Amino acid sequence: MIKKLNRRQFLKSTGLASGTLVLGVQFSPLMAKHHGEIQFSPDVFVSMDGTGQVTIISHRSEMGQGIRSTLPLLVADELEADWNRVTVKQALGDAKYGSQNTDGSRSVRKNFQKLKEAGAIMRTMLQQAAAQVWSVPVDQVRIEHHQAHHKDEALDFKELVKIASKLKVPERDTLKLKTAAEQKYVGKPDMALLDGADIVTGKAVFGYDVQLDDMKTAVIARPPVVFGTVKSVDDSETLKVPGVVKVVQLPALTPPALFKMLGGVAVIAENTWAAIEGRKKLNIEWNHGSNSSYSTNDHEAVFIKALENPKEVVRSRGDVEQAKANATKTIEADYHVAGLAHATMEPPAATARITGDRVEVWACTQTPQASQRNVMGTLEIPQENAANVEINVTLLGGGFGRKSKPDFVAEAAYLAHQTKMPIKVLWTREDEIKHGYYHSPSYQQLKGTLDENNRVTSWYHAMVNHPISSTFDPTAKLAGSTDLGQGDMMFDVPNIKIALGETDTFMRIGWVRSVTNINNVFAASSFVDEMAHAAGKDSKDFLLELIGDDRIEDFSKDGFEYSNYGEPAEQYPAETSRLKNVIQLAAKEANWGEKLPEGTGMGIAAWRSFLSYIAVVIKVSTNGNQVKIEDVHMAVDAGQLLNPDRVKSQMEGSLIFGASLAFYGEITAKDGIIEQGNFDDYQMTRINQIPDVHVHLVNSTAIPTGVGEPGLPPVAPALCNAIFAANGQRHRRLPLKDLRLV
C-alpha cells in the first residue's frame, strides 16, 4: 500500500523535524557523525551539519592575500548558502584536496571550476531532496539563500540534510553552474576579509603564536656559509643561562640543498629570551667549506663574461645579426638587479609534537603537503605511515615564496624527535635575512635596432642568474623553465634572439614573488623606454607600436618551449589586445601626456605574467638625488575577478614591494656570508613614501588568472622610466643607491 504523506509528516517520519537521528538508519558515505553530529559531505570541500550550518574547507594557505576569503565564496555562491551560516575551516595537509601549494598565483585559476562544482553538487542534491518532499519535478524547485522553494512553500537546508545525504552524487558534467550575472558573492565589492577582525585584534594564530602544553622554544645557530659545518662547539656558557634546557647539534646539510635543514646548533629553552641569549653564548668554530670563496661583487665579472658567448639560445626569430648590419640606429644597454630576500613580516616558525608514532606540526607554511613529505624524509617515516604526520596550517604573516620551502618545518620535527618534547622553532629576523632562499642577482644585456622610419627591426636579450634548479641539482648552471624565463615578451619584432648564460651557484636560490620576471621585465621595459627616446617617440605610443596588431602570440613559432605557467595555451592564450588595453587604460586614468612641472615625469611599463596583463604608470618629482612618488595608476586584466577588493590589495602590495626592491633591495655575500641582517640594512619603503595607489580593474569574462605576483614586475621599470622623464637620468641598476625616496 502506498501511503501519501504531506511535507510535515514526511519530515517527521525521517526524524529531521527535530534535527535528531533515527536509530537503525544505515547512513551512506555522504552522511557521517562527526563529534556526534550529522555531517553531510558530498564533496571534500563542503559539508553541512544537521542545523544547516555549512563548513567550507580552505585548502590553500592564507598569507594576507585573502584566499580564505575568496575561494570559499565560489562554493557558497553555487550552493546559495547564507554567508552568515558558513564556517570556513583550514585544511590539514592532505592529498585528497589536490595541490595545496599556495604560490605561483595559482590558487584561483586551479580551483575555480572544481570549487564551483563542489557547491553545485550540494545545491543539486538539496534541490533533489526538496523535490522528493514535495513530490514535484526537480526543475520546479528553486534554491535560494539557504532554502528550497516551491510556489509558496519553503524548506530550510537543515530540513533536507538527511534526505540529500542518501542521494547519488551527480556527475560533474551534469551540473548547472551559475553565470557571472547570477552570482551574489563572487565578483562583488566590499566582501569582508574573513580573518580581518581577528588579525587586527590579535586573536589570529600565526606560526609564531602556537602554544602547546610543556612546549619548549628553539633557536638555531646555522652555518654562516651554505654547506658549512660545525668544527667544534662549546655550550658551557649557554647552559648557564636561566631557562636553557638543552643544546642539540643538527646534522650537517649535504648537497642538494632541497628543503633540508641547514644544520648548526639548536638551543632549547623555556622561552624565547632564554633561547636567544643562550645562542649568543655558544662558542662555535665553523668550517665554512668551499662556498666561502664566493663574493657577490667579484662574481658580477663572471656574469658579464657569461654573456659574451651565451650558452643557450631559447628563442629565435629571423636574423638579428643581419638586422644589426642593416640598421640605421643601434641601441645597447646592460642592466643589473641585485639579489633579494623574501623579508616576510613574520619570519618562518614551526611547532612539532610527537606522541608515539604520531607527528603533529603547526606551521606557517605555503605547502602543507611538501611539509609533510619533508617531515617524513627527516624522520625516515615510510610512505605507508603518511597519515601519522599531521600538518596544521596557521595564518602566515606574508609568504612571497619563502614559506613554500619547509626547511623550518623539518627543524621542528627533528628537534621534537631528538628531545622528546614539543618544540617550537623560531627564526629571528636576522635568521630570515642571513639564511634564506634568495632571489638571484642577475645581469642582462640588451641590443635593439631601428630602421630609417624608427621602427624596431631586431631585439636581442641575454641574461644570466643563479638558477633555481641549482637548489635541487648542484650541477645546474643554466636558468630554465623553473625560473619562468622570458616567455611573455609579446613584441612584434621581425628578428628576436633570447639567450641564457651559465654560472655556478653558491647559495640557496628560491622563487621570490614574481620570480625572474623581476629581472627580465625591469630590463625589457626599461629598454623599451630607451628605444622610444632614441626613436624620438612618446613612450606609451612606442610601446603600443612595438606590441603591434591584435593577435594571439605563438611563442612556439620561435622555437621557444614556453610553459605558459603550466597552463595550455589554447585555454590561456597570450592576447596582445588585452595587453594594449591595460596600457591604454592606465595611461588614460593617469592623464598621460599632460604638461608637467619641471623635475616631474611619468613612466610606463606593462607586461603579461602569470597569465595576467598589468600596466603601471608612475609619476615622480625629483629634486637633486631626492625622488618622490606623486601618483600611481595600475590597470589589471586578470580575467573574471572573484574578489575585487583583494585584487586591489594585491596590486597595492605589489607596488610597495616593487618600490622596496627598486630603492633598497640588495642581498650581497662576502666570503660566502650574507652581509645584510635586518631592516636597518635591508630596508622596506615606509607608509609616508607611498601615495594612494589607483587600481583600475578590467571587467572581463575570461578565465580567472593570477593576481598575487603579476603586479610586481612593471613597477621598477615604470619608476625608473619616470625618473628619466623627470630629470633625464637613466638608471640601469637596482637598487637605486644614489637616490633617496622621500
Interval 329-340 mean pLDDT? 98
Q: Assess whether 181 and 79 both reside in one domain.
A: yes
Q: Assess whether 486 and 624 both reside in one domain.
A: yes
Rounded alpha-carbon distances, angstroms, from residue 427 to 74, 279, 348, 407: 36, 12, 6, 11
Whether 638 contacts 644, CB under 8 Å: no
Q: Assess whether 318 and 451 both reside in one domain.
A: yes
Whether 253 contacts 220, CB under 8 Å: no
**Residue that finishes a domain, picked among 426, 457, 479:** 426
**311 torsion bin: left (phi>0), alpha (psi -120 to 50), beta (else):** alpha
Range of the domain at 217: 207-290+348-426
**For residue 35, is pLDDT > 50?**
yes
Domain membership flag for residue 377: yes
Residue with cell 660566502: 672
Q: Assess whether 150 and 283 both reside in one domain.
A: no
How far is residue 422 CA from its own chain's centroid?
Answer: 30
All three cell numbers of 39, joined, read 555531517
- Could you tell me what percent of the chain has a pLDDT over 70? 94
3-class DSSP assignment, residue 177: coil
Domain membership flag for residue 199: no
Interval 413-442 mean pLDDT? 98
The reported pLDDT for the residue numbered 34 is 56
Show the DSSP H helices in 452-606 as ranges.
Answer: 517-535, 539-547, 576-589
Q: Assess whether 646 and 621 both reside in one domain.
A: yes
Q: Assess whether 527 and 631 both reside in one domain.
A: yes
52-111, pLDDT tens digit by residue?
999 999 999 999 999 999 999 999 999 999 999 999 999 999 999 999 999 999 999 999
646-671, pLDDT tens digit by residue?
999 999 999 999 999 999 999 999 99
- Could you tell me what percent of the chain has a pLDDT over 90? 92
CA neighbor of 366 nearest in space, from 325, 406, 330 = 406
Helix (H) or strand (E) holding 116: helix 107-134
Domain membership flag for residue 431: no
Domain membership flag for residue 326: yes
Determine how β-strand 264-269 pairs with β-strand 312-317: unpaired
CA neighbor of 277 nearest in space, from 333, 221, 230, 233 = 221
All three cell numbers of 689, joined, read 613614501
CA neighbor of 377 nearest in space, from 409, 404, 423 = 409
Range of lowest pLDDT (25-39, 308-322, 450-464): 25-39
- Global confidence as pTM: 0.93
Q: Assess whether 336 and 385 both reside in one domain.
A: no
Whether 429 contacts 498, CB under 8 Å: no
Confidence of residue 28 (pLDDT cuts 50, 70, 90): very low
Q: Assess whether 487 and 376 both reside in one domain.
A: no
**For residue 16, is pLDDT > 70?**
no
CATH code of 331's domain: 3.30.365.10
3-class DSSP assignment, residue 544: helix
Q: How many domains does the chain have?
A: 3
Q: Assess whether 150 and 234 both reside in one domain.
A: no
d(CA 510, CA 439): 6
What DSSP string describes 627-684?
EEEEEEEEEEE-SS-S-HHHHHHHHHHHHHHHHHHHHT--B-EETTEE---STTTS--
**Residue that finishes a domain, picked among 127, 157, 188:** 188
Tally Cβ neighbours within 10 Å of residue 332: 12
**For residue 197, is pLDDT > 50?**
yes
d(CA 742, CA 740): 6
Q: What are phi and psi of 312, to 5 degrees?
A: -140, 130
Domain membership flag for residue 704: yes
Whether 263 contacts 250, CB under 8 Å: yes
Whether 293 contacts 227, CB under 8 Å: no
The reported pLDDT for the residue numbered 485 is 65
All three cell numbers of 188, joined, read 562583488
Q: Assess whether 375 and 456 both reside in one domain.
A: no
Interval 313-325 mean pLDDT? 96
Domain membership flag for residue 2: no
Interval 386-415 mean pLDDT? 97
The reported pLDDT for the residue numbered 33 is 55
Q: Assess whether 78 and 60 both reside in one domain.
A: yes
Average pLDDT, the chain: 93
126-165, pLDDT tens digit by residue?
999 999 999 999 999 999 999 999 999 999 999 999 999 9
Which stretch, 36-40, 66-70, 225-229, has highest mean pLDDT? Answer: 225-229
Domain membership flag for residue 195: no
Interval 617-639 mean pLDDT? 98
d(CA 151, CA 143): 12
Q: Assess whether 323 and 356 both reside in one domain.
A: no
The reported pLDDT for the residue numbered 191 is 87
Domain membership flag for residue 194: no
207-225, pLDDT tens digit by residue?
999 999 999 999 999 999 9
**Residue that finishes a domain, picked among 159, 188, 217:** 188
Tell me how many helices (H) and strands (E) the chain has.
16, 32
All three cell numbers of 125, joined, read 542534491
